Structure 1
Amino acid sequence: MNETLFLWDFPGGTAGLCAAGALLLILCIISAWTTRRPVALHVRILMVLTRVAAFGLLLYCLCSPRLETKRRIRESSRYRLAVVTDESGSMRKPGFWKRSRLQDAEQYIAENLTTKGRFDVEQFRFSDTFHPLSQTAEPGNRTDFLGTLVSQIPELESRGFNGVFWLTDGIDTAGRAEAEAAFSALAGSQMRHFFIPMTAPLEAPPSVTLKKIEAPAQAYLNTEIPVTLLVRRVNISKKRNARLVLTRNDIRLGEFPIEPGTGVQTIQQRVAVRNVGTDRFTAELFLDGKRVETQSWTVAAVTRKSTRRILVYNGALEYGNRFLRNIFLNDPSVKLDIVFAPGVIQGRQAGEPVRLDDRLSLEKYDVILLFNLNRKQITPEMERVLRSYAEDGGGLIFITGNPMVAAEFANSPLEKLLPVTFSEKYNEQKRYDARTAGIVRLITSGRRRPTDFDYPLQRNSEMRYKDHPLRDFVLTQTGQASPIFRQRLADGSFTFIIPRFEDFAPVSKAKPAANVLARFRDETGTDHILMAYQNFGQGRSMILATDPLWRWRLKTVSDDPSFELFWKNLFSWLALGRSCDAEWQIPNRIMEAGDEAEFLFRPGSMLTQPAALDFRMKKENGMETVLVPSMEKKRMRFAVPLKEAGNYTLTAFYEEKAVASVDFTVTAHSGKRDEDSALEPDTALLERFASLSNVRLLSGTDAPDWDREFPAEHLELLEEATLPRWNSPWIYLAAAALILLEYLIRRVFGKLV
């Protein structure tokens, strides 16, 4: 829409312009009648008119006349929506009324999601693969619901979709991803997500099966290993007495009841490694008192062949360094290097200088501790090198209990490596300086004559040195399950290690992928994050937002090892990403014939020539297959098709000597798809997803509230153009011509009196 207006400005507006015009007319008449040249009346009138016209043009210019054109462009926003439909076996199976859940989903789409106008809708399908509706694909043998969420949410977001509608029964039979990973993918998404459960009743017999076993191939002596088992349960009730029994070398480690209902149950157990050798673990599933499945695997318990190296990089002189050094003073398995940033200590430091901006100098360290650093001591190159170090498996921990220092690192590149974001607002809590306490002690000692300034200083209680009480860490559920805070007792049980601190730095919030280990609630009831970690590439990054805890050690009895055990557990856990010994990594100890398995091998730092390694896969009948890896940074990747069922062993040979091995089981493909037996919708999983702010759970009959979820947004652009009408050449020429004409009239028709 275009709108053109003629505008002008003059002091006083219209009244001012009229007054100026009248005054100009009077002035022209008076000047014409008082001229010294006698002329006829009509000549005088002509003179008045020419003068009025000339000065009228000048008055026109003074009004700043102009044409203003306004052009309004209005655009309505359009939304891109993705409709993703589950086409797995449980969705295609007909129910009692001969209708499948897939047919219900197609009907819902036709009635509620075929929107037009401001919406662009694209449809997709998935079972074990994800594809557009326009591309026909045969449904696979499994349903990779959780894996589809993890892999496709970033992909759909990168393609510019604003919302995704998921029509599914929530069943996942592939086991390629866990619910926590899908939950994190949804939490980190900027799109709106809508889950429409397809819950048409279907019948399936009760069953329990082991879908996944996660266990390391080897473990170090005097450590704990995590064992994770995923059990698929279908139509299980309490009277079925379903349970899983876990044993090691025929000694029972635990019995775990299988929960009623349908879905995937995760069973986790931490097992202490106390003896060198190979331990055989067995998982047995029981249903109605009968053993229905048995799976076995081995874990090699070895002694650590290499020394853990830890770098403590200080930005200031810190009393806590002495305590850290004393912890590992008589421990040959750990080498602790304490260095200082340039300018902290005058003179030359002992040993070779360590530079955080030199990737090669950090390569020998398993853990880097950043201690009391300020923002100016970290350069962009250091941040780049530390990022690369963590991605390649290094452990990184940042410690500060100073609120002002934490505020300096808010929105910094280093903060992107850490599991939290810092608060930019400095917490102006009372802080007691040691130098102030020293001055007070000198004044109050009586060794000098008091002055008028000393008396109020002594009376001021805020300036006196006080012994502050220590506060306890409050462990979260993740913290209670972490080996960092556990102390193993002689009878095999454990007790929690609860660190104590004096100062802490405020943390704004934890990142979506972070795991909070410990919190603290202050006097106002506000929760503060004290300790958290996140996986970063192949390594781990951690924040300890407190002082270095040495005051905790001073207030414990001498025979209490809690302080030492905490730091040893912490550094051992952070160093797990940089295994110095050769090790196999496989995602699952149970696989199915016909699949393509993916294995990883880390050569570690003990093998000087990784290119000399040979890899073989041996079946229980003695048949061997030579494997050829593809290099990926500092590890080797194998893609191996599993053609036959049986028990297999992977072995890595270095100079004809076995350096690492791992076993796994390949089960025969039964021909019956898992989703043909797993038929109960997992609505509990979808309800958990709906607890996120960007996720909605809709019923199978209700249409989305479009105006609420995707409000109409109009974009209005205003384009203005101004065309001045007073600075045209013809105006100046006309005014000059009129003045010249009046001059000629006076000269030609008048006589000088």
Structure 2
Amino acid sequence: MSFFVDPYALEAIADGQFSFANSPHPLVTAILILLVPAIVWLLYRRTTRPVSPRWKALLITLRSAVLLLLLLMLLRPVITTWEVNPQETYLAVLIDDSQSMQINDVGNGQSRAEAVQRALFADNGILPPLAERYQLRTFAFNNALNRLDTAEELQASGNLSDPGQALQQLRNQLGGLPLSGVVLISDGADNSGADVLAQAREFAARQVPIFTVGVGQPEIQQDVAITDVAAASTILDNSIFDVQVTLQQQGYEGRQVQLRVLDGETEVLTRNVTLGANGGSSRYELELEPERREPILYELEVETLDGELIAQNNRYQFLVDNSERPPLNILYVEGHPRNEFKFIRRAAEGDESLRLASYLQTGPGRFYRQGINTPLELNDGFPATAEDLYQYQAVVIGDIDPDFLSAEQLTLLQDFVAERGGGLLVSGMLDDAFVDTALADILPVTPVRLSALPGYLQGGVRRGSHATGEMFTPRLTTPGEFSPLLRLGADDSENRNAWSALPQLQGIYVTGRAKPGATVLMEHPSVQFQDQALPVMATQRYGSGRSMAITTASTWRWQMLMPAEDESHERVWRQILRWLAQGAMERVTVNFDKPFYNVGDEVTVSVEVRDERFEPDNNASLWLQRTDPQGEVSDIAMEWDIDEDGVYRSRFLVEDEGVYNTLVDVSSTAAARIDDEKPAAFVVTPSLREYNNAARDDGLLGRIAESSGGRYYDLGEINQLVGDIERSPGAYSQQVEEDLWDRPGFLLLLIALMCADWMARRYRGLS
């Protein structure tokens, strides 16, 4: 039948667009069709010569076919189609020009972009015949829409696919022209987060169908992809820091791959990992130690396996800021000279990122200050005002008597942690007198009065030989094993070996249970209270700050009883002090809205400014100095966000990959406010979003076409577009009837049937 009627006619018949122009009532037509073979059968009941039943059936069939074909031609069969006036309407062709079009997953190892160029621009491509029928407008799109004149302008370099934005910009550009339709050619990736179907419905409302063409494989069979990397954005004093890497793979379940971390051309870490289940994600932890004091751009690389289709998602860049910073200010108050005080001070003095200002009571009414910046610092003892106390980021309290701090100072200390966001550590014994005070409220453990303890726990180290005064090896809890506060080795086994080599501690001060929101990092291996091991080290969040309790005063043994070159004690205490102080709020805080950016992204810089009492400051003047990777410097004024007290913002686009350094200059009219500068850095990296989950999305492309009244095609079916667009209903098309009865095929069929009928009759000797 396709020889006599073109494929579109067959499709039109299937869609119900077929009819008879000269047809009487449908019932009469049906009767005529049935009547023809009936009359022929009656005429062949008697023949001039005897004919076998088989020959009689053949003759009836041939004569009926001739008569039915003549009847069909008399009824005048037609198909109803749509057409536009040539060269009077416009057609827009949108071609995906994003990086995912570089993937070589089309036949014969072609990239998606190469296959599209061949299907459109080659001598037998579809653009020349479309240009004969329409005013053609060709565009390339990624995160924006750009006019396209030649195939060479397609670069497949955009780091974002945004078909919704492309359709919206197309409406803005061609909205006043008679647009017959849109051809959208893409792999279907939409990583913009916008609602592209809403744009498709806008075109449907204007009676402009969108014909979508899918490129690429519907499933990536073999690929290993880095989907996420999480690392601390800033670190102190070359500290070891953790990097969490998430890999997704397909086709390599159980395979081992090599992870490498590079600092420029220098390899700083190599590790072999085993891939998880197909289609799933696996997370791996790495530990790095920076080697220089500046923002460092690391590159993570996962080994490319045989047969892997996409290599671009095997590399990932991340920035860690190891720049020089002012030391963290920590106040340490101690009630009497003891070994713990001496060794804690010694640990802090070896760390340039820490300044430990100590206030030690050496006797009745006698105090000794160390590490002070000015002769007046701590001259009157523990600070009595917020301005004096809030200059510190953390406070460490040793073994102090109840009269060491007044009720007002305890309340101030509570505000220091809860509102200023400072850290508090109580190291050693907490006197009974503090049990019902604000100090006990801040701690992660519940202090218990001596008289409320069971007999076997009363007295403790004060009585000498006692269960709580014996030697013990603290037991790391599961959170403690993985806590950066207690890390002594680069990997788990090294860390466990380092802890097992440390000398035993002696003596623990009994407290109650850890509070519900606390995290116990170390506990006593044998002594319990209320069926729980006594906590040796515990932490918790408190308001905006954090607190810690260490219930022994013998960590000095980790230094005194170890070789002089062993720095385990120093390392633990430096990590503890940094953790306490590092989370404290600063007077000027710079934040970026993303951990990293890609070329073309908009960067939003937010700066929070506070005065000496750490109240939001709305009266500041801020300028942002930005230095791009090429060394070009620009200044940008920052504006106060009227909806957020103390917050100032600035926005700009980034156009180059690499590290951007910023310097925020702050001045304020607030009383006693000093000018301040705050450096920060961010990175613009190569984008991975075009290469992860990069399979052809037939579902999205099909929904775009369906929502607009168009149709979806695979790239191999693209030649059907020329005829389908012309015959599709639209705002600038009209219905026409196309006759089928006068097609040459019908005449040839009629002649063939009549000849067959004549030859059959002659062969049997019939008149």
* TM-score class normalised by the smaller sequence: 0.3 to 0.5
State the TM-score, normalizing by the size of structure 1.
Answer: 0.47
State the TM-score, normalizing by the size of structure 2.
Answer: 0.46
Higher strand share: 1
